[in-house]
A and B are shown apart, each in its own frame.
Chain A
Amino acid sequence: MFFHIVLERNMQLHPRHFGPHLRDKLVSKLIKDVEGTCSGRHGFVVAITGVEDIGKGLIREGTGYVTFPVKYQCVVFRPFKGEILEAVVTMVNKMGFFAEAGPVQIFVSNHLIPDDMEFQSGDVPNYTTSDGSVKIQKESEVRLKIIGTRVDATEIFCIGTIKDDFLGVISDPGAAV
């Protein structure tokens, strides 16, 4: 799920940037530091949409660095248990398949794949129905449901299922071939 929230961060700036473009420098550094990172609490920071407030800088003794408290608005992505996501399959093996929804990695184990789909090894390992009408392989797009998330300080990993109504392949790259 996406959220638009306000976060706060203490930014350290090298003294060489002190000048008329201090603020710009601070913002560009913020974007570079924060976008694409993951916090266990808020999820992945997808984009910074604005800077709300930059507080008074505090000079650090000895180094000359200045610490600015910066309040910024950003879009974060945080997967939840029970959420339905669309994801791209990145790897298929006998134990299940891995998929990505943006920055989130999801593993769907084989017991959460419908029983009528069987693993086929080969150059392009895949899960296929007996009549061959549905196939899951690398690059397939699937709709899945999150049944568990593990949130670390820097990483979110999800377990998904496609064994439910309206879940499964939504576009099959193999079909075009």
Chain B
Amino acid sequence: MASMEPFNRLVRLAARAFYDDISMKGDNQPKTSRGDNRGMAVVVLDALTRRQWVREEDLAKSLKLHSKQLRRILRFFEEEKLVTRDHRKESAKGAKVHNAAAAAASDGQPVTKEGEEKVKVHTHSYCCLDYAQICDIVRYRIHRMKKKLKDELDSRNTIQHYICPSCNKRYSAFDALQLVSYTDEYFHCETCNGELVAESDKLASEEMGDGDDNVRKRRREKLKDMQQRIEEQLKPLVAQLERVKNLPAPEFGSLQAWERANIGAFANGDPSAADSSRNSQGQYGTPMPYIGETKVEVDLLGDGVKEEGAESGKNGSELKVLPPWMIKDGMNLTKEQRGETSKASKLDEKSEAKDGKKQDSKDDQSIQEEYIKAYYEALRKKQEEEEEKRRMQQEGDTFVSDSQSERQVGKKYKREDEDEGIEWEEQQPTGNTTEMYKLADLNAEAQESGDDEDDLVWEEG
């Protein structure tokens, strides 16, 4: 994503320039000094610069605002085109998916909250800043301010008035047709046929006019003064706009896309989760939080291969490898291997995976949770061992470990081929994890070949 800081600075400047004294009056608020919440708009905008898509309830909580009050402010900013909002009906589980995405987006930590089954559906509102639009809006706003003042100074869009110097009769430009003279280039008075003078000319010629002229003069000075202050006070904002002009604005996308992108870091199963939440949103009558949740956990349990099989019905093109947070604690090699594994074995195992998936969905919730626990445990152990191995490797006996692990890879693959269906399904978490750890100390060349026969050939040659 593009660097946020220049844009966030822009938002903060704009908030202080334009929304400093905006007061959101609540209907039920007593008209006391406590009801004065000016500056709240700035606080909310500032808070949003530190977040991406955020559920409005959560934002209200962290700002210690009443959610109604916050909603009023957000609705205002939505109208001002600074904030994008989204509303959807969702169960407690759907909310969890969002939490997961938010957590993944903010610090890359896996969220392993186990929620209880709730079929209650509430409408939740989400909001985030629309940076690209904010740039446009702020620029447009400044442009309009300046143009309005300039137009007034130039007395543009004002109807010209004319005065007869001899009889002081006033005419407006609407009378022009009747005033036209076909003998010269001027307008002539209807009553005395005197040559009319445009009123602004009169103002220019005799500065010391009557009270009316003085009023106009004062107004002119006021406008000029205002123009100057605009230039002065908006200088930092304009400078920031200039700075930001050629930078790509941060783009969160729609709420759904954003959750999908960020939860991708949380679990492979996100697309399905997002899909199911959208379904439940789209068809209000039949929210299916259970299905959505099951999918998330199934995907956690399995790996990329299974995911692929399970997903093929909906969007088979989704080809996710290891979630990034795993890569972080694990190793680069691990990730590559994992990606390759799924590619190499995917085709053969797709159908089996599908079968397995069916069975899996029948499985008990508790069993799945057990698996997850076991999986994380194994993963952690592996990573520790891996670290150790690596250290050893660095010390010198690269050759030995290399060939050893090579053979192990071969073994592994054979075993996977043999174990099929349900067997394979249940073996998967542990088998997979050990495999990962062993492969971790392969060097890159070894990993390139997924087939063990190829490996052997390469080894010999």
Contact = CB atoms under 8 A, between A and B. Distances in A.
Contacts of B162: 95
Contacts of A65: none
B185 A94 contact: yes
Interface residues of A, number: 23
B179 to A, nearest CB: 8
B174 A159 contact: yes
A121 B177 contact: no
Contact of B180 (A91, A111, A150): A91
B177 A105 contact: yes
Given A93-B186, A111-B200, A121-B185, A98 B177 contact: yes
Contacts of B187: 95
Contacts of A105: 177
Given A112-B156, A148-B159, A164-B156, A96 B200 contact: no
A112 B160 contact: yes
Contact of A125 (B158, B185, B196, B200): B185
B334 to A, nearest CB: 60
Given A95-B176, A107-B176, A163 B156 contact: yes
A161 interface: yes
Contacts of A125: 185
Interface string B169-210: 000011011001000011100000000101010000000000
B159 A159 contact: yes
Counting chain A CB atoms within 10 Å of each CB, the highest count among B176, B186, B198 belongs to B176
Contacts of B173: 96, 107, 109, 148, 159
B185 A96 contact: no
Contacts of B196: 95
A157 interface: yes
Contact of A109 (B160, B180, B185, B186): B160
Contact of A150 (B157, B158, B174): B174
Contacts of A109: 160, 173, 176, 198
B185 A93 contact: yes
A38 B19 CA distance: 48
Counting chain A CB atoms within 10 Å of each CB, the highest count among B155, B160, B173, B185 belongs to B173
A7 interface: no
Interface in A75-119: 91, 93-96, 98, 105, 107, 109-112, 119
Interface residues of B, number: 19
Contacts of B176: 95-96, 98, 107, 109, 157
Counting chain B CB atoms within 10 Å of each CB, the highest count among A95, A121, A148 belongs to A95
A22 interface: no
A112 to B, nearest CB: 7
B232 interface: no
A157 B177 contact: yes
B246 to A, nearest CB: 24
Contacts of A159: 159-160, 173-174
Counting chain B CB atoms within 10 Å of each CB, the highest count among A119, A159, A164 belongs to A159
B154 interface: yes
Contacts of A91: 180
Nearest to A148: B159
B185 A157 contact: no
Contacts of A112: 156, 160
Interface in A126-177: 147-148, 150, 157, 159, 161, 163-164
B177 A111 contact: no
Contacts of B198: 95, 109-111
Nearest to A149: B174
A93 B200 CA distance: 18
Counting chain B CB atoms within 10 Å of each CB, the highest count among A109, A110, A125 belongs to A109
B205 to A, nearest CB: 14
Contact of A111 (B160, B174, B185, B186): B160
Contacts of B157: 147, 161
A112 B187 CA distance: 16
Contacts of A147: 157-159
Nearest to A91: B180
Interface of B: 154-160, 162, 173-174, 176-177, 180, 185-187, 196, 198, 200
